[in-house]
Amino acid sequence: MNISLKDHTILVTGASRGIGRAIAKQLSESGATVIIHFNKNLEEASLLLKEFATPGFLEPCDLSNSDEVIGYIPRLVEKYGPISSIVNNAGIAKSASDNLPTKEWVNIWDETLAVNTTALAILCKEFVDQAKHQKNGRIINISSRAAFRGDTTDYIAYAASKGAIVSITRTIARHYGKQGIKAFLIAPGFTRTDMANEILSEYGEDFALNDIALSSLTEPEDIAPMVTLLCSGLADHATGATIDINAASYVR
């Protein structure tokens, strides 16, 4: 089955690398106009744009700064017209051991929730505001298996931030469906990205491989097809659902 996203305008956050990059590229290959969100990686975002099969746009925003996030969606709508879907992929995972001084621990907690949860909630709120006028819109939020099974003690902030995304997404799905808005969760497990490589360097690759049922780690390209399907509208009656893509490292 070929999925066509012609006439879809889709915002992908954190699209300059990793999972976001793979998602953005596949959405473009399926015909969508993709807005590449990035923070500092202009060079990588620009290289991605050159690989697109369809026209796309580069739009920076510092998700750690709520004042900058507020109004981001309305500005995009003013420039490019209604946004069909938003893929909230951007996120950070910073280690904070339990023997850190509490002030340092809290600083990492605050930054993690600012990017992973608060910014996402603002983007969802402002996306819903514009989608209600179209009576159509799809939100795909990238959570994590950590939201459901927890994480190591060094990554409590990460797990908590991803857990909050679950409630945000389910609430949107349950209460805005009749206004044409659908919301989905994708919960990846350990995926081979630059961010994951930092964790691999700390714990070793066997740490990840021993935790999964398959013989190789999940790649960003393993996640992109599901996002494309959800953006297409072919799976709208799965609104509110969580799709696990974790190589059976967490089975519910």
**Measured distance CA(36)–CA(76) in Å, rounded:** 11
pLDDT at position 5 = 98
Q: Is residue 40 part of a domain?
A: yes
Predicted local distance difference test score (pLDDT) of residue 142: 98
d(CA 98, CA 111): 17
Domain that holds residue 101: 9-245
Crossing angle between the packed helical segments 18-29 and 42-51, to the nearest 10 degrees: 30
pLDDT value for 200: 75
Q: Are 224 and 180 in contact (CB under 8 A)?
A: no
Q: How many domains does the chain have?
A: 1
Whole-angstrom CA distances from 132 to 1, 84, 99, 141 are 30, 11, 47, 18
Q: Is residue 26 part of a domain?
A: yes
User: Which residues are CB-contacts of 8 (< 8 A; sequence separation ≥ 6)?
Assistant: 27, 31, 32, 33, 84, 85, 231
Look at residues 26, 33, 114, 127 and name the one whose alpha carbon lies nearest to residue 67: 114
Name the stretches of the chain with pLDDT < 70: 1
Structural domain includes residue 250: no
- CATH code, domain carrying 105: 3.40.50.720
pLDDT of residue 26: 97
Residue 169 and residue 121: Cα distance in Å, rounded? Answer: 9
Q: Is residue 158 classed exposed, middle or buried when 0-12, 13-18 and 19+ CB atoms within 10 A define those classes? A: buried
Q: Encode pLDDT of 74-100 as tens digits.
A: 999 999 999 999 999 999 999 999 999
CA distances from 190 to 26, 197, 216 (A): 20, 10, 11
Residue whose entry in the numeric block shows the structure tokens 């340092």: 104
Q: What is the pLDDT of residue 1?
A: 60
Residues in a beta bridge with 10: 34, 85
